[in-house]
Chains A and B, each alone.
Chain A
Amino acid sequence: MKTKHLIFLTSVAVTLFIASCHKADNNTTTTTTPTTPPTSSAIIANYCTNVAIPDYSALLSNAQAFQAAATTFSANPNDNDLTTMRTAWKGMRTAYESAEAFLIGPIATLNLDPDVDTWPVEQNSLDSLLNNTTNFTPAMMASLPPTLAGFHPIEYLIFGQNGTATAADFTVTTTPTGASKINYLMALTNNLVSNITLIRSAYTVGSSDDFISIIENPGPTNSTYQTHKAALLDLVNSMSSICGEVGGSRNDGKIWSVYSTQNAALQESYFSNNSWADFSNNIIGVRNAYLGVYGGSTTPATNSLYNLVAAKNLSLNNTIMAGINNAIGSFNAATSIPFGQAVQYTNGERTQVLNVMNAIDSLQSTLNNKLVPFINQYVTD
């Protein structure tokens, strides 16, 4: 009896221990203080090498994978290949949305972002375009407004209104014909891949829009960043700005505008019902930028903002990490129901949506009111 009791107690202890280990892994709240904080130039170099480049490379290769899937589908439209294409579309979105946490440099200033990610879609003109056009030349694509190019018109074609598109839609012979849909889909895809290639080249040393040479070499002759501090502040402000764009129960973020009107048709990525994934990837992008990593890792890179803050102000680092983890974790409770429906349900779902906004709001406040002043105080070069 006594032995049984002991075994039971031991197993409880072991379970608790394992559970607590697991929790620590998830939250990345390492309490060890790095002996020497990383230099600002090392943090910027790490941001380029281990955050931006891998994210934009993944974006480009996912876009090429989508292009391949679209090509296969076009040759012989069938529902299996339609599903493959839809998955590939979501793959592009994952890489793009996380990169929106650091929308700085030519991707923001050369209007590359609106070229690929303008919302809403010009649906009326798109329908007329399909009815009247069969040949979508690159010159014609270049003349279209951004509401008729990029991710979302593709989404409209392959998911359809309310997600009801089928492969058969791409073989019909009445207007809008399947052939014109296929032609437009391929033209949109090729246009998107070429724009994403431009985006990727912003992080290629020696390219015409080379941003690496700008952000890694601040100085008096650098027309964008005179100091490392300026470059880091730009990065942090961009991280904060995506929080405001997505969340924000008080500042008309993407979630708030749909939540307050309860109108699902206002949400971005409405056709694919991909909004939750879009939003959560935006905040994962914030985590990536803070930890100096990409690809799902939650272990901070040596030369990360995380280690800079941890070395100087451990409690602030814990606050920021808690804010990031709360914001990302808040999606887990809410995402069981598509976003467009969750904002309308009254069975606790709206509260969960509100919790997501509050968590993101609080993260943005921490970034604005604590991390920005921290960088102003501690980054001196």
Chain B
Amino acid sequence: MRKQFTTYCYLFIIVILAASCRKYQDFPASEQDPRLSGGSQTTFDAGSGAFDHSFEGLSVHDQLIHDIGDKEFSLAFVTAPAPLNPGLGPLYNNISCGSCHQSQGSGTPPTPGQPAGLASLLMRISYGVDEHGGPGPVPGFGLQLQNNAIYGTQKEADFTVNYILQTFTYPNGDSVQLHKPVYTISNSYAGLPGGLLMSPRLPPEVFGMGLLENIGDATIIAMSNQAMFDTTIIPGHPNYVWDVVKNQMVVGRFGHKAERSDLAQQIGVALNEDIGITNKIFPVENCYGQPQFKDDNMHPEISDSLFNCLVYYLKTIQVPARRNVTDPTVLRGEQLFKQAKCSGCHRQTIVTDVNVAFPQVSNQTIHPYTDLLLHDLGPGLADGRPVYSANGSEFRTCPLWGIGLTQVVTGQTSFLHDGRAATLEQAILWHGGEASYSQNFFVHLPKNDRIALLAFLNSL
């Protein structure tokens, strides 16, 4: 009897303990401020400088590091030797970070029918696969077409975009013009192999990347598994890519195909391939082994400290807040965004990892509208160029935060990986593959609801 009583007592204590454990819950979504897209690192500037606000709460020292990086981001590189910012080329796509990521925003495709020149779109190329299953370099060209060169050096080639106009007609008779790009490579300095794969890439906005970097691998993998028990989620998978620092395969986060795991490598490869600036992560000139190679005796061309400043700067840019969140049309649009299952990939809320070394990005509830996973977007958008586990029609879900400010910040709107969509409506209509349900849902909405959904996107 007594034994039984003791057992009951223990059971009672266990139940109480279990209940008290369950008492701790996430802060309910209904009580969160939906405007705080970047959690505590959200800026309320909705003007042309909205994509360039430094994190709050940086120490005086860290702020200086951020600002040195900020300046370096927009400063033009020149050929060595020079007192200021030397090392450009010999081959390059553009001469500074800010020339492509204009006002820290997304880029613009080149004028149709004209060589891309210094436009912000670049062309990735590959031939076969490399030893890690990534894209294989094209002999004599590498992984990217450098369509500019310093004076006296031959560029690799020119490329030109032309658009085939397609008319899309809604069931109610409304129509929209869509532009399907066709790319031509010309004036190449050497022969290009048959079976060359090409993928044009528009530079993305660069804010909030420190927060995205602090989304843990486990969180990304958990998001890919969630579709098994949650029908509102569209199944996607992470990219597993080669990490040149760790020398192992890791989960990818950055780039249109999630081909880089962390910011330092993303920035290192951009400096090297886009501007011809060797750095501590990518110390070999992009044209090494090609006739254009010329050693300027700078190894590397950007000092480690300046490189670190640039990386720190790009980790510490705030995310713009949402606007008009209580507007009835926007609220209706938000509801439709969920019903259309757009939110099945463009996931509203993610909680970043705990990071004691970097409190500003630690444990933040953010609204990036991405799952950082790869999804098949169908033949309309496919580039046919696989990157590690991303096949030719898969892309990483593009974060949508700040997308409604593209016009005010950059003075133009070009969406999708190659900038073919001049409006958000066109961008939605190009979605296919795993997004077919959502695209079809949007197409069959009454006009007012289509407008509401676009109003919601513009509030991000």
Q: Which residues of A contact B (CB under 8 A)?
A: 104-106, 108-111, 114, 118-125, 128-129, 132, 143, 145-147, 223-225, 230, 233-234, 237-238, 241, 248, 250-252, 257, 263, 265-266
20 A-B contact pairs sorted by A residue (CB < 8 Å):
A110-B411, A119-B84, A120-B83, A120-B85, A123-B82, A124-B80, A124-B82, A125-B78, A125-B79, A132-B152, A145-B95, A147-B76, A233-B45, A233-B46, A234-B47, A234-B49, A237-B48, A237-B49, A250-B64, A252-B70
Known contacts A124-B82, A128-B151, A234-B49; 7 further A-B pairs (Cβ under 8 A): A104-B47, A104-B48, A120-B76, A123-B82, A125-B152, A223-B407, A238-B48
Q: Which of B30-68 contact A (CB under 8 A)?
A: 45-49, 60, 63-64, 67-68
- The answer to whether B63 touches A265 (Cβ under 8 A) is no
List chain B residues, Cβ under 8 A from A132.
Answer: 152
**B298 at the binding interface (Cβ < 8 Å):** no
Output the least CB separation between A355 and chain B (Å): 19
Q: Kindly count the residue-residue contacts between A and B in the assembled complex, taking CB atoms under 8 Å apart.
A: 107
- The answer to whether A146 touches B76 (Cβ under 8 A) is yes
Please tell me which one of the listed residues A105, A119, A225, A241 contacts residue B76 in the complex, with CB atoms under 8 A apart: A119
List chain A residues, Cβ under 8 A from B78.
Answer: 120-125, 147
Output the least CB separation between A295 and chain B (Å): 26
Output the least CB separation between B302 and chain A (Å): 15
Q: How far is the CA of A230 from the CA of B95 in the complex (A)?
A: 32
Known: A238-B48, A250-B63. A125 touches B408 (CB 8 A): no
**B150 at the binding interface (Cβ < 8 Å):** yes
List chain A residues, Cβ under 8 A from B102.
Answer: 109, 111
- The answer to whether A109 touches B85 (Cβ under 8 A) is no
Interface size class of B (residues with CB under 8 A): 35 or more
Q: How far is the CA of A224 from the CA of B413 in the complex (A)?
A: 11
Q: Which residues of B contact A (CB under 8 A)?
A: 45-49, 60, 63-64, 67-68, 70-71, 75-76, 78-85, 88, 95, 99, 102-103, 117-118, 148, 150-152, 407-412
Q: How far is the CA of A212 from the CA of B351 in the complex (A)?
A: 43
List chain B residues, Cβ under 8 A from A223.
Answer: 407-408
Q: How far is the CA of A225 from the CA of B85 in the complex (A)?
A: 36
List chain B residues, Cβ under 8 A from A251.
Answer: 63-64, 67
List chain B residues, Cβ under 8 A from A257.
Answer: 71
Known: A124-B81, A237-B47. A145 touches B411 (CB 8 A): no
Q: How far is the CA of A128 from the CA of B408 in the complex (A)?
A: 40
Q: How far is the CA of A248 from the CA of B412 in the complex (A)?
A: 31
- The answer to whether B49 touches A241 (Cβ under 8 A) is yes
Q: How far is the CA of A237 from the CA of B47 in the complex (A)?
A: 8
- The answer to whether B68 touches A265 (Cβ under 8 A) is no
Known: A108-B103, A251-B64. A129 touches B151 (CB 8 A): yes
Please tell me which one of the listed residues A106, A146, A266 contacts residue B411 in the complex, with CB atoms under 8 A apart: A106
- The answer to whether B99 touches A114 (Cβ under 8 A) is yes
Q: How far is the CA of A251 from the CA of B67 in the complex (A)?
A: 5
List chain B residues, Cβ under 8 A from A123.
Answer: 78, 82
- The answer to whether A145 touches B118 (Cβ under 8 A) is yes
Output the least CB separation between B220 and chain A (Å): 34
Q: How far is the CA of A147 from the CA of B85 in the complex (A)?
A: 12
Please tell me which one of the listed residues B63, B79, B118, B411 contacts residue A122 in the complex, with CB atoms under 8 A apart: B79
Please tell me which one of the listed residues A108, A124, A234, A250 contacts residue B79 in the complex, with CB atoms under 8 A apart: A124
List chain A residues, Cβ under 8 A from B68.
Answer: 252
Q: How far is the CA of A237 from the CA of B79 in the complex (A)?
A: 34
Output the least CB separation between A228 and chain B (Å): 12
Residue of A nearest to B74 (CB): A114
- The answer to whether B118 touches A120 (Cβ under 8 A) is no
Known: A106-B411, A147-B95. A265 touches B83 (CB 8 A): yes
- The answer to whether A266 touches B45 (Cβ under 8 A) is no
List chain A residues, Cβ under 8 A from B76.
Answer: 114, 118-120, 145-147
